[in-house]
């Protein structure tokens, strides 16, 4: 009997061990708030990664991400999704404030969250990949990119038990829906009027593999961007990286045209390095880069060759074409603003043309100092040339000689210099 009783007790104990118990998340009741209201780029991805690490290290109960984005780079989006899925702390994505959107890359980021919510007047969708300038990519490449993104969207939706069919349609058909439709279609978990309403609704909610959220006495801590994140976020903007490149090229060009000035070269070098760093994470078209480099070569040649402005015109045209082609624009926000493009091209082109003209003029103009500067100047004979005498020119007396004798007071022109002796000719009266 004792043996049977022991077996029964062991059986029930094993059941208790195997049955997963509901438990409150051990991280506490504090909430880490991460605000993302920008294009998805490497700077934003770094901000989210460091925010999640901060929340995990300091034992926060959950992370709330307020999201408002038109989309961004696919690589940065995937990095953010990986961080959200790997988070040890429950992650809530809240599309807010009113009127915000989670478009393109924002769709998959929202669906990757443990809890997804939206504020009134918001929308989600339109995740179809686009090409340069927002145009459709077209051809076989379009099919490959679309199929890959659709499969990724389905995978994330299935992982979080959301509407897999809608996720695929958001990619393939660019469908976009309101917060009410998203709730009905099982794209999000619920809608919330504001942050307080959101916290009330997630309080007590069970998160698979992470327990139950207990937020009765919560405290919100807003995670601020680090200096590294701010730099990445700033130079990750195509407009900023383009301006940095132009400043860099102009600075180095000025230094080459006027060696020894130093300051323009230093500023240009630093700007160019920052621009190249940002190009590593932006969709760069290298044809555009080559055209811009060719434009600089044209301006340099303008200093050496008398092209009567043709090389400068070619440089301006190359600058314009290269700038238009520089960024692939495969995602919203990843192309240069037309106002920035136009004003920068005008300013930089005028700068290059002006410097080229000044250098060329200095090279072809006659010397204005020293003995060489006397050729072509006029003077007055002070001592008769028989054949050598003295001539007064530029406030000084110089040795002079002439082919024919010239008397004192004769007005002459300097035609040649030989060992500091001026060869002069009489000026016709």
Partner residues linked to 334 by β-bridges: none
Q: Taking the CA atoms of the chain, what radius of gyration do you get in angstroms?
A: 37
DSSP-based three-state secondary structure for 381? strand
Q: How far apart are CA 293 and CA 78, in angstroms?
A: 33
**What would the two tokens of residue 189 be?**
């978990």
CA gap 113, 329 in Å, rounded? 28
User: If you write DSSP's letter for every residue of 329-363 in order, what string do you get?
Assistant: --STT-S--HHHHHHHHHHHHHHHHHHHHHHHHHH
Q: Is 386 a catalytic residue?
A: no
Q: 76, 87, 104, 271: which one is catalytic?
A: 104
3-state secondary structure 199-229: HHHHCCCEECCCEECCCCCCCEEECCCCHHH
Distance CA 405, CA 412 (A): 12
- Are residues 379 and 417 in contact, defined by beta-carbon separation less than 8 angstroms? no
Residue 125: which region, alpha, beta or left (left: phi > 0; alpha: psi -120 to 50)?
A: left
Catalytic pick from 144, 193, 208, 304?
144
Residue appearing with tokens 């009997």: 1
Place of tokens 């992982």: 159
Tokens matching residue 305: 């060759």
As a whole number of angstroms, the distance between CA 85 and CA 30 comes to 20
Residue 138, C-beta contacts closer than 8 angstroms, at least 6 positions apart: 131
Return d(Cα 65, Cα 308) in angstroms, integer.
59
CA distance 105 to 213: 28
C-alpha separations of 415 from 141, 405, 418, 421, 425 in Å = 72, 16, 10, 11, 7
Let me know if 144 is a catalytic residue: yes
**Closest to 240 (Cα-Cα) out of 370, 337, 360:** 337
Q: Which residues of 20-44 are buried (b: 16+ CB within 10 A; e: fewer)?
A: eeeeebebbbbbbbbbbebbbbbbb
Q: Name the residues annotated as catalytic.
A: 104, 144
């Amino acid at each position: 009997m004792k043996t049977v009783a022991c077996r029964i007790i062991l059986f029930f104990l094993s059941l208790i061990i195997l049955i997963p118990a509901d438990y409150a998340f051990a991280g506490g009741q504090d909430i880490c708030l991460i605000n993302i209201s920008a294009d998805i780029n490497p700077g934003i991805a770094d901000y989210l990664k460091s925010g999640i690490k901060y929340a995990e290290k300091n034992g926060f109960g959950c992370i709330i991400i307020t999201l408002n984005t038109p989309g961004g780079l696919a690589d940065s989006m995937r990095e953010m999704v990986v961080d959200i899925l790997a988070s040890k702390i429950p992650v809530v994505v809240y599309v807010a404030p009113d009127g915000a959107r989670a478009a393109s890359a924002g769709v998959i980021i929202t669906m990757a969250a443990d809890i997804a919510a939206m504020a009134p007047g918001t929308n989600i969708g339109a995740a179809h990949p686009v090409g340069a300038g927002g145009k459709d990519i077209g051809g076989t490449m379009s099919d490959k990119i679309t199929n890959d993104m659709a499969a990724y969207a389905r995978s994330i939706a299935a992982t979080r038990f959301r509407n897999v069919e809608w996720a695929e349609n958001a990619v393939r058909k660019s469908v976009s829906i309101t917060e009410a439709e998203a709730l009905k279609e099982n794209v999000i978990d619920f809608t919330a009027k504001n942050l307080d309403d959101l916290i009330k609704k997630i309080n007590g909610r069970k998160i698979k593999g992470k327990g139950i959220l207990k937020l009765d006495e919560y405290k919100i801590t807003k995670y601020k961007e680090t200096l590294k994140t701010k730099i990445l976020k700033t130079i990750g903007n195509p407009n900023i990286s383009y301006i940095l490149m132009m400043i860099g090229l102009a600075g180095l060009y000025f230094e080459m045209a006027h060696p020894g000035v130093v300051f323009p070269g230093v500023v240009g070098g630093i700007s160019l390095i920052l621009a190249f760093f940002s190009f590593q994470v932006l969709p760069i078209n290298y044809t555009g880069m080559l055209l811009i480099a060719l434009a600089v070569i044209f301006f340099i040649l303008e200093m050496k060759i008398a092209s009567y402005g043709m090389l400068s015109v070619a440089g301006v045209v190359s600058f314009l074409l290269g700038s238009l082609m520089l960024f692939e624009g495969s995602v919203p926000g990843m192309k240069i603003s037309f106002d920035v493009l136009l004003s920068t091209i005008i300013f930089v082109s005028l700068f290059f043309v002006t410097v080229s003209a000044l250098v060329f003029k200095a090279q072809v103009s006659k010397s204005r100092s020293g003995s060489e500067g006397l050729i072509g100047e006029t003077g007055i004979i002070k001592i008769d040339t028989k054949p050598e005498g003295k001539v007064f020119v530029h406030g000084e007396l110089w040795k002079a000689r002439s082919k024919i004798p010239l008397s004192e007071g004769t007005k002459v022109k300097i035609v040649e210099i030989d060992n500091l002796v001026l060869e002069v000719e009489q000026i016709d009266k």
